[in-house]
Chains A and B, each alone.
Chain A
Amino acid sequence: EPEVTQTPSHQVTQMGQEVILRCVPISNHLYFYWYRQILGQKVEFLVSFYNNEISEKSEIFDDQFSVERPDGSNFTLKIRSTKLEDSAMYFCASRGPGTTAVRNEKLFFGSGTQLSVL
């Protein structure tokens, strides 16, 4: 089965530093997402992205966060100035376009990047 690939698997950074989390969605997918999960807590939606722009974002996704699809394969999440509370597992997800008759409901998630802010 095709996979969403995320790198790195672990990222350690100092508070205030910028980090970029990288994702390679499945090749024919058009819709892209970031979710995060703080240790022991629920999986939370951050942002959805389609046609090179943000479709929707949550309250968590403030001005410190940005997303980009710099080329035809990568999808990145940037945190400009990390805070201790940004420590979490970050999941990238993607889905295909479906057809005009049938929505494609299946969201594929990557294995995540564990971000630790010290």
Chain B
Amino acid sequence: DAKTTQPPSMDCAEGRAANLPCNHSTISGNEYVYWYRQIHSQGPQYIIHGLKNNETNEMASLIITEDRKSSTLILPHATLRDTAVYYCIAGSNDYKLSFGAGTTVTVRA
């Protein structure tokens, strides 16, 4: 799996958009970009994934650069419940997901 690099932490104001960057410069053509989050030591929760195209679902949007070397997860209207550790994972293996340290996102009122 390709190595990913994320900032260790970031703050966000409640109600504002949170933009979480991820660098995966060594990603290969068949590797997807997955985003999961973990709220206070609960089980990781799937957010979104993509291969080449930008993706949107009820939780978030995923913007992948044209060269696929980086991506951004966008939480459009952050709430206090979005405070969590967010993991960006690049991989193609059968869900042998390699979690890194992630980005600790703190949403402040």
Chain A residues packing against B (C-beta within 8 Å): 4, 31, 33, 35, 37, 42-45, 48, 55-56, 58, 89, 91, 93, 95, 105-112
Contact = CB atoms under 8 A, between A and B. Distances in A.
A105 B43 contact: no
A5 to B, nearest CB: 11
Contacts, number: 54
A35 B77 CA distance: 31
> Mostly helix, strand, loop or mixed at chain A's interface?
strand
B39 to A, nearest CB: 11
Given A105-B49, A108-B46, A45 B97 contact: yes
Contacts of B49: 105-106
Given A45-B98, A56-B93, A111 B32 contact: no
Contacts of A95: 95
A46 to B, nearest CB: 10
A89 B45 CA distance: 15
Q: Chain B, interface size: which category?
A: 20 to 34
B34 interface: yes
Interface of B: 32, 34, 36, 38, 41-46, 49, 87, 93-101
Contacts of A110: 43
A116 to B, nearest CB: 14
Given A107-B46, A109-B45, A112-B41, A42 B99 contact: yes
A105 B42 contact: no
List of 10 A-B pairs having minimum Cβ-Cβ separation, nearest first = A109-B43, A43-B99, A45-B96, A106-B46, A105-B49, A91-B43, A109-B44, A42-B99, A110-B43, A111-B43
A33 B44 CA distance: 13
B97 A89 contact: no
B100 A42 contact: yes
Given A42-B101, A105-B32, A105-B49, A58 B42 contact: no
A43 B44 contact: yes
A65 B32 CA distance: 30
B99 A44 contact: yes
30 contacts: A4-B43, A31-B95, A33-B95, A35-B44, A35-B97, A42-B99, A42-B100, A43-B38, A43-B44, A43-B97, A43-B99, A45-B98, A48-B94, A48-B96, A55-B94, A89-B41, A91-B43, A93-B43, A93-B95, A95-B95, A105-B46, A106-B46, A106-B49, A107-B36, A107-B95, A107-B97, A108-B46, A109-B43, A109-B44, A112-B41
